[in-house]
A and B are shown apart, each in its own frame.
Chain A
Amino acid sequence: MSLVTHHSSLPLVIDIENITKEYVMGEEIIHALRGVTLQIRRNEYLAVMGPSGSGKSTLMNMLGCLDTPSSGRYEFNGKNVSEMDGDELATIRNREIGFVFQTFNLLPRSTSLRNVELPLIYAGIDPEEREERATQALTDVGLGDRLTHKPNELSGGQRQRVAIARALVNHPSIILADEPTGNLDSKTGEEIMALFESLYQQGNTVIVVTHEADIARHARRSVHLRDGVVESDELAPLPPPAAMAVAVESLGK
């Protein structure tokens, strides 16, 4: 297993070593992860790929401090996560991690603004600053004119943008997206990927799970999982100019 490191000058955000995760289902023990070692530095753009059931989501949940490994070591920004309790993990998730889900997971009865404000409430930010920052985040993803819309008044792509604004609003160290384009048509998916691209360009650390090679092509590094182990970890060539053009074009909108 080759360990690829990038921009070695930048600090490590994620450092996991020999992580395993088992699920006990009655008699059977399912090994979702069988020893994954991975290092991710600041401002990387990483795609996690692999067939269904290979452990991508399990790994993402682990990286996002939603779940704790059965064994192995996990250091997030130099802090040992495996020893943290529920509340400390909640604080890490709130301050350091921005989640983007395949199913958007917006609160259906709340406006875009209120959805994006949610992490700020849990961070204890004042109402005025909350509204200001949420408005800014929504404007950054191109939804400055959709602040008071509820999720059912938005298109799928717009919903995912709200979710991305919500992930960004607390200025997290990493953005984790598990199949963010899985529920979108390919054109809208491209637009969302372009948004991730620009977030990356602005210096964010982005980790995207996908099983579509097209989507993965946007990333600078791709990790392939198979049966709970890292099969390959490689740097991708720069995306072809065509893809860049699409990205630039959709940004202009």
Chain B
Amino acid sequence: MKRFLYELTESWKIAAAQMVANKTRSMLTALGVIIGIVAVTLMGTAINGISTGFDKSMAVIGDDVLYISQRPWTRMNDWWNYRDRKKIRTEYADKINHAIAATPNSNLMIAVPTMSLLRSVKAGDNSVDGVFILGTTTDYTLISTLDCSEGRFFNELESRGGAEVCVVGYDVADAAFAGRSALDKKVLINGHSFKVIGTLSRQGTFLGLFSLDSIVVIPLPAFKKYFSAKSEADVRVKVRDKTHMADAVDELTGIMRRLRSLPPEKKDDFSINEQQAFKSTLDAVKTTIAIAGLFITGLSLFVGAIGIMNITFVSVKERTKEIGTRKALGARRRTILLQFLIESTALCLVGGLIGLTFAYLMCFGMAAAFPSFPIRFSFGLVIASMIVSVLTGLVSGIAPAWSASRLDPVTALRYE
């Protein structure tokens, strides 16, 4: 046991000396492993980042809300199949709420109508383009995680009466009023004047792709009056318990079919969307990244392993006489086997560490360049990379190490 330990330390020392003596050669050989490790860590980091970013964004939007829309979210490619469906009307919200009230132990809590479009918002000389204008009722506060950092959301009266008041998102307040309070100021939406009665606290971005704070919320009647009354509407329905999502969807489907008076043989002419739909799209993205990453990783590790196997064979050849000498001095087969296995493993480990350093720097650079995209360089990835490196080293070293250990001492000593 002790002997094994000493032989092990000795092998590491030899491996280190060997690498120091052949720096260029070692580095070139480790290149494949370096690239492989960079690929695997970047891939992992990207997947991690997307996942955490997604979860964060979902929490902001609220993952216990169902969206009744004309079209399903996930089917972008055959939208024409849904084009002729009847529009979702904001009046459904009230009817759904009646149905909910009439159902004992309903899985649903409340329905809220929304309409939205993108418009530019002006305040004095400042103009903000592409702001998400959301028309809804005061009940919207019950289904979203929005809250006001300043002022208040519009009340029942303003909501029903279609008062020309609005609640602005952080980005809008910031861009239009540049740090000064937006309260009681006027903003022009599409030329129509609204009074700011509240500012929303900051929500951040959705997956780093677009801001959730570029928003202005106005009462629904005002929206209908000043913007397109025919614009597409959604009804958002909050569920009571998100662990019973399927039941909630069934219940809501039933209510909607009754509202639309669909006979049993007809298919649904509306879509009930949930966050989960995003999740499956996201999973597809993650799988694509993983497959691409694993392919690149696998390929470069394969090439790297062959390079390392080759260089270890060269090393065995070059040091045949040394192997003979070691055997003459009492090295056993497994001693020699261990020595060359450790040499190839050390080479891979160094390659792995260099790869990790590169990947870390790249993540660091990316995080600096795109501060909104959530980048995670996790400890688990470091461990995984190290394991992958060691395995590559062992796999690529086994054949040359085996051949070295089988060398006949006399033949090895005679080798010039």
Residues of A at under 8 Å CB distance from B?
61, 64, 66-67, 86-87, 90-91, 93-95, 99, 101, 105, 107, 109-110, 118-119, 121-127, 166, 170
Are B328's CB and A93's CB within 8 A? yes
Cα of A94 to Cα of B330 in the assembled complex, Å: 4
B277 at the interface (CB under 8 A from A): no
> Can you name 30 A-B pairs with beta carbons within 8 Å?
A66-B328, A66-B409, A66-B410, A67-B410, A86-B332, A87-B333, A90-B330, A90-B333, A93-B327, A93-B329, A94-B329, A95-B330, A99-B328, A101-B413, A105-B321, A105-B325, A105-B328, A105-B413, A107-B325, A109-B17, A110-B17, A118-B326, A118-B329, A119-B330, A121-B7, A122-B331, A122-B335, A123-B3, A126-B2, A170-B330
Residues of B at under 8 Å CB distance from A?
2-3, 6-7, 10, 17, 21, 321-322, 324-333, 335, 408-410, 413
Cα of A109 to Cα of B21 in the assembled complex, Å: 9
Q: Which residues of B contact A86 (CB under 8 A)?
A: 332-333
Are B21's CB and A66's CB within 8 A? no
Nearest chain A residue, comparing its CB with the CB of B11: A121
- Measured CB to CB, the closest approach of chain A to B320, in angstroms, equals 12
Cα of A87 to Cα of B7 in the assembled complex, Å: 15
- Measured CB to CB, the closest approach of chain B to A121, in angstroms, equals 5
Cα of A42 to Cα of B247 in the assembled complex, Å: 94
Cα of A88 to Cα of B42 in the assembled complex, Å: 50
User: What 15 new A-B contacts, CB under 8 Å, besides A66-B410, A67-B409, A91-B332?
Assistant: A61-B410, A64-B328, A66-B413, A87-B333, A93-B329, A99-B329, A101-B325, A101-B413, A105-B325, A109-B21, A121-B10, A122-B326, A122-B329, A122-B331, A166-B329
Nearest chain B residue, comparing its CB with the CB of A89: B409
Nearest chain A residue, comparing its CB with the CB of B3: A124
Contact of A122 among B17, B21, B330, B410 (CB under 8 A): B330
- Measured CB to CB, the closest approach of chain A to B322, in angstroms, equals 6
Are A90's CB and B332's CB within 8 A? yes
- Measured CB to CB, the closest approach of chain A to B325, in angstroms, equals 4
Q: Which residues of B contact A66 (CB under 8 A)?
A: 327-328, 409-410, 413
Cα of A121 to Cα of B11 in the assembled complex, Å: 11
Q: Which residues of B contact A95 (CB under 8 A)?
A: 330
**In the complex with contacts A61-B410, A109-B17, A109-B21, A87-B3 CB distance below 8 A:** no
- Measured CB to CB, the closest approach of chain B to A126, in angstroms, equals 8
- Measured CB to CB, the closest approach of chain A to B400, in angstroms, equals 19
Cα of A33 to Cα of B172 in the assembled complex, Å: 99
Nearest chain A residue, comparing its CB with the CB of B409: A66
Cα of A121 to Cα of B324 in the assembled complex, Å: 16
Cα of A109 to Cα of B14 in the assembled complex, Å: 9
Q: Which residues of A contact B413 (CB under 8 A)?
A: 66, 101, 105
Q: Which residues of B contact A126 (CB under 8 A)?
A: 2
- Measured CB to CB, the closest approach of chain A to B326, in angstroms, equals 7
Q: Which residues of B contact A119 (CB under 8 A)?
A: 329-330
Cα of A101 to Cα of B409 in the assembled complex, Å: 13
Cα of A202 to Cα of B393 in the assembled complex, Å: 48
Nearest chain A residue, comparing its CB with the CB of B325: A105
Q: Which residue, of B329, B335, B413, has the highest number of chain A Cβ atoms within 10 A?
A: B329
Are B327's CB and A90's CB within 8 A? yes
Nearest chain A residue, comparing its CB with the CB of B334: A87
Q: Which residues of A contact B327 (CB under 8 A)?
A: 66, 90, 93
**In the complex with contacts A67-B409, A107-B322, A124-B6 CB distance below 8 A:** yes
Cα of A87 to Cα of B4 in the assembled complex, Å: 14
Q: Which residues of B contact A91 (CB under 8 A)?
A: 330, 332
Q: Which residues of A contact B322 (CB under 8 A)?
A: 105, 107
Q: Which residues of A contact B330 (CB under 8 A)?
A: 90-91, 93-95, 119, 122-123, 170
Nearest chain B residue, comparing its CB with the CB of A99: B328
Cα of A166 to Cα of B330 in the assembled complex, Å: 12
Cα of A107 to Cα of B17 in the assembled complex, Å: 11
Cα of A66 to Cα of B409 in the assembled complex, Å: 6
Are A122's CB and B328's CB within 8 A? no
Cα of A143 to Cα of B322 in the assembled complex, Å: 23
Nearest chain A residue, comparing its CB with the CB of B414: A57
Cα of A107 to Cα of B323 in the assembled complex, Å: 10
- Measured CB to CB, the closest approach of chain B to A46, in angstroms, equals 19
Cα of A64 to Cα of B329 in the assembled complex, Å: 10
Nearest chain A residue, comparing its CB with the CB of B13: A114
- Measured CB to CB, the closest approach of chain A to B104, in angstroms, equals 80
